[in-house]
Amino acid sequence: MSKSGITVNDLLKFSFISDPQVSPDGNWVVFVKRTIHKQKDYQSSLYVMNIQTRELIPFTQGDNRDTSPRWSPDGKTILFTSNRSGTNQIWKISFHGGEAQQVTFFKNGASQPVWSPDGRSILCTTSLKENQSIEETESDAKASKEQEKEPEPYITTRLKYKANGQGLLEEKFSQLVFIDLETGEKTQLTEGSYHHNNAAFSPDGKRVAFSANRSEDPDFTMISDIYELDLNSKILTKLTNSEGMYTAPNYSHDGKKLSILGHNMEYKGATLTRVWTLDLHSKELICLTGDWDTEVNDVAINDLATGAGSPGAVWTANDDGLYVLASERGNTHLYHIGLDQRITTVAGGKRQIYAFGLDQHRRQAVIGVSDPQIPCDLYHVSLDSRKETRLTEANQHWLLDKQVSLPDEINFTARDGLSLQGWLMKPVDFEEGKKYPLIVEIHGGPHMMYSNSFMHEFQVFAEKGYGVLFMNPRGSHGYGQEFVDAVRGDYGGKDYEDIMDAVDYVVEKFNWVDHERLGVTGGSYGGFMTNWIVGHTHRFKAAATQRSISNWFSFYGVSDIGYFFTEWELKTDKLDEPDKLWKHSPIRYVNEVETPLLIIHGEEDHRCPIEQGEQMYVALKHQHKPVKFVRFPESDHELSRSGKPKLRIDRLNEMAEWFEEYL
């Protein structure tokens, strides 16, 4: 009896593993395991594992969301963030057991816990309105919620007044708070109408580095500077020149330098992230990866939301180099970057390494891994021998009974001679000699990357009898600066041709692909491209556009990023060159659409607002074209990755039914 493939409802079975943190002595790792609770919502708990014996211990329990675990310097206590009190606050728990104790009680919650080197105090971040005191507590928030309030108008004078996942923004800003764990005394370190993040203690505990945009009007200046605050004198020093995006500062062990990630925005949002060191005495900023044509971040896409933020560039034990994640040709690897600018692969392979943690002596690492067969698991890596040992098998207990479709890498040449990479998956229960329909998947961003990682959605289509083609057209990360920049100002140009060239290649080379039964889908930029494709070719028999852009004119004003993203990506805006915006708008070509189009959109999407889908739907419906509109309540731009589980299942079922009807 053959095994069945992975189904839509199997989403409810996945465990999601993230944020591994190695204990200072290197013997234990704490991590976050997220599951879907009672098929309705997400729940996450902390687990600890002995790295040598692989003894696994559930560390926190309940229906809460416990995240961001951080070891104390002596390894005796773990800080973490939890919503168990009603809002996200910082908690601590003894590694030797006992009840968790709440550390913060801030009215607007707390996040990003950081231990001081002596373990006596911590840093965290809380959101505050101007003139709001950190002394206001959760109880104040609960009391104000219980009071019946009449509806009030929302009033703003800011350019950036809404954000995807947050809705209309209150005038609150992320501030750093210092907490003495022995006395409970709390000191607000930053203030003003600015967001302060990525805080790090100096080794002597006397200084704090962080990133912020403290320019005169942050809504108009897309920058991020690195600052250092002296905790005794309260003197704040700006360390970078307000000309780029710099984040994730980490102090060297001698306290003389910072490592940072960032760039000078030479190519706007398509600029490769580089690794830098900043000498705190001379203020000299040195780029260590200027000759490495690679994005120093994990930008691989999967739909299991495994990431937990980048630790940045982490110093070696003797400060002669840094450990970083970087994305290249469909893989994310862990690298060592020497101060001599030599680059060495620490952990490679055809996979996405989405997280890493190191012990204090830098002898070992624990990495989070996703590959075409493994949704997400942890591996131990000896940094001396580079030997790897698998630590977890989070989903093996049920995947053993499933047939997983493994992608085959394809490499082909675009019509203008550019080398391109993609992957082709066969249907589950594939039989030689038979013809199968093919679904083309297009990623968002566009400055992201399909990779050798696990995609539940692709497995669902393979189980239903489809081949799946996915590739990285120009504009994607993983192939250098020129490649990722090539889409800017040319949306729907050579990027469109790249996707069509991929389809031509597989139709010609793989005789099992039925060229009469082709489907296409994508979200965000992939939704834009799906809209563009159906207006420029009739070769697809069905299409599903998700959280898409259809009209750059309205996108400019309704998206939370439209006012700068439009200029970044099209190299113009509606005031300077309106004809260009119209030229690149898929809705301009709606009269040419013959392909049956399913439109999927979240009601609360502020990145690509639902009016983009509405325009496409009405224009097609008015012409009596085959179109269906599915609107998802309580859903933003992240519906397919972290939306409500039931709605994620509904979304996949809607697409599967649409392709079944027309393919």
Summarised one tens digit per residue, pLDDT across range 294-322 is: 999 999 999 986 566 789 999 999 999 99
- Whether residue 178 lies inside any domain: the answer is no
| Edge-first strand listing for the sheet containing 111-115 | 111-115, 121-129, 172-180, 186-188
Confidence of residue 118 (pLDDT cuts 50, 70, 90): very high
Q: How far apart are CA 373 and CA 101, in angstroms?
A: 39
User: Active-site residue among 259, 606, 637, 640?
Assistant: 637
Residue 447 bears catalytic tag: no
- Whether residue 643 lies inside any domain: the answer is yes
Average pLDDT over residues 403-407: 98
The phi, psi pair for 379, rounded to 5°, reads -130, 145
Q: How far apart are CA 428 and CA 423, in angstroms?
A: 16
Compare 578 and 418 and report the one with higher pLDDT: 418
Tokens at residue 443, please? 């990623």
- Over the stretch 10-40, which tens digit does the pLDDT of each residue have? 999 999 999 999 999 999 999 999 999 877 8
Q: Is residue 148 scored above 80 in pLDDT?
A: no
Q: Which element (helix H / strand E) includes 92?
A: strand 89-94
| pLDDT score recorded for residue 38 | 74
Q: How far apart are CA 461 and CA 301, in angstroms?
A: 17
Q: From start to end of 524-596, where are the E strands?
A: 542-546
| Count of residues in the chain | 663
Q: Is residue 211 scored above 80 in pLDDT?
A: yes
- Over the stretch 448-474, which tens digit does the pLDDT of each residue have? 999 999 999 999 999 999 999 999 999
Average pLDDT over residues 215-219: 92
- Over the stretch 518-563, which tens digit does the pLDDT of each residue have? 999 999 999 999 999 999 999 999 999 999 999 999 999 999 999 9
- Whether residue 394 lies inside any domain: the answer is no
User: Active-site residue among 23, 174, 252, 524?
Assistant: 524
Q: Is residue 155 scored above 90 in pLDDT?
A: yes
| pLDDT score recorded for residue 142 | 65
Model's pTM, two decimal places?
Answer: 0.97
| Edge-first strand listing for the sheet containing 28-37 | 16-22, 28-37, 41-50, 56-58
Q: Is residue 226 scored above 60 in pLDDT?
A: yes
Residue 637 bears catalytic tag: yes
| pLDDT score recorded for residue 115 | 98
Average pLDDT over residues 227-244: 97
In the chain, pLDDT over 70 holds for what percent of residues? 98
Residue 247, C-beta contacts closer than 8 angstroms, at least 6 positions apart: 197, 198, 211, 224, 226, 260, 261, 262, 312
Confidence of residue 143 (pLDDT cuts 50, 70, 90): low
| pLDDT score recorded for residue 97 | 80
Confidence of residue 2 (pLDDT cuts 50, 70, 90): confident
Contact present, 420 and 473 (Cβ < 8 Å): yes
In the chain, pLDDT over 90 holds for what percent of residues? 92
Q: Is residue 52 scored above 70 in pLDDT?
A: yes
- Whether residue 201 lies inside any domain: the answer is no
Confidence of residue 330 (pLDDT cuts 50, 70, 90): very high
Q: How far apart are CA 261 and CA 565, in angstroms?
A: 21
Alpha helices in 321-455, H assignment, sequence order: 396-399
Place of tokens 């499933």: 402
Contact present, 65 and 82 (Cβ < 8 Å): yes
Q: How far apart are CA 442 and CA 471, in angstroms?
A: 7
- Whether residue 239 lies inside any domain: the answer is no
Q: Is residue 492 scored above 60 in pLDDT?
A: yes
| Structural domain boundaries enclosing 568 | 405-662
Average pLDDT over residues 461-489: 98
| pLDDT score recorded for residue 403 | 97
Q: How far apart are CA 459 and CA 531, in angstroms?
A: 24
Confidence of residue 576 (pLDDT cuts 50, 70, 90): confident
CATH of the domain at 654: 3.40.50.1820
Contact present, 600 and 655 (Cβ < 8 Å): yes
Number of folded domains that form the chain: 1
- Whether residue 62 lies inside any domain: the answer is no
| pLDDT score recorded for residue 566 | 95
| pLDDT score recorded for residue 229 | 98
Contact present, 49 and 23 (Cβ < 8 Å): no
Q: Which of 142-156, 394-408, 446-460, 573-587 has the lowest mean pLDDT?
A: 142-156
Tell me the pLDDT of the chain averaged across its residues: 95
| pLDDT score recorded for residue 40 | 82
Average pLDDT over residues 635-658: 96
Burial class (CB in 10 A: 0-12, 13-18, 19+), 572: middle
Q: Which element (helix H / strand E) includes 375?
A: none
C-alpha to C-alpha distances, 435 to 406, 509, 511, nearest whole angstrom: 18, 13, 7
- Whether residue 323 lies inside any domain: the answer is no
- Whether residue 655 lies inside any domain: the answer is yes
- 244: alpha, beta or left? (left if phi > 0; alpha if psi -120 to 50): beta
Angle at 465 between CA 462 and CA 466, to 5 degrees: 65
Tokens at residue 506, please? 């597989």
